[in-house]
Amino acid sequence: MSDFPEPIYDDGLALETAKPKLKKPPLYRVLLLNDDYTTMEFVIEVLTQIFHHSEEKATQIMLHVHQKGAGVCGLYTREIAESKVEQVIQFAQSEKHPLQCKMEPDSE
Ligand code: TYC
């Protein structure tokens, strides 16, 4: 280590503070679609087990889907949204419910 401070060579360039390089990933909405056959109880089960909503919130979302035709279960990055859609469809098929689930970009 030197006993003298480093000399400062000013070449006239202004230095900018580095900007954070990480961009936020695009988000996707996962939606449930209404139908006439899936039971309300099953939809609430999907919303609590797969989307981790409380019973109260799950009931609210289910009723919204039932009345309006579709509703958002959550916002996720692409891979997580794809996995949620797959889990819902698998679970519904295994219980013989025609429940449909899809995803769409959040910006639309
Ligand atoms: N409409 C269904 C019924 O009356 C309930 C239901 C709600 C089904 C939401 C699907 O995504 C759904 N049994």
Judged against a pLDDT cut of 50, whether residue 1 lies above it is answered with: no
The continuous run of DSSP H or E covering 102 comes out as: strand 100-105
User: Are 13 and 74 in contact, with CB atoms under 8 Å apart?
Assistant: no
Judged against a pLDDT cut of 70, whether residue 108 lies above it is answered with: no
Best substitution site from 30, 38, 53 to test ligand 1's pocket, by max atoms within 8 Å of Cβ?
38
Q: For the segment 45-82, what is each residue's pLDDT rounded down to a tens digit?
A: 999 999 999 999 999 999 999 999 999 999 999 999 99
pTM across the whole model: 0.83
The residue written with tokens 């959040």 in the block is 106
How far apart are the CA of 37 and the centre of ligand 1, in A? 7
How far apart are the CA of 89 and the centre of ligand 1, in A? 15
Best substitution site from 41, 48, 62 to test ligand 1's pocket, by max atoms within 8 Å of Cβ?
62
Q: DSSP per residue over 5-71, as a string?
A: PPPP---SPPPPPPPP-PPPPP-EEEEEE--SSS-HHHHHHHHHHTT---HHHHHHHHHHHHHHSEE
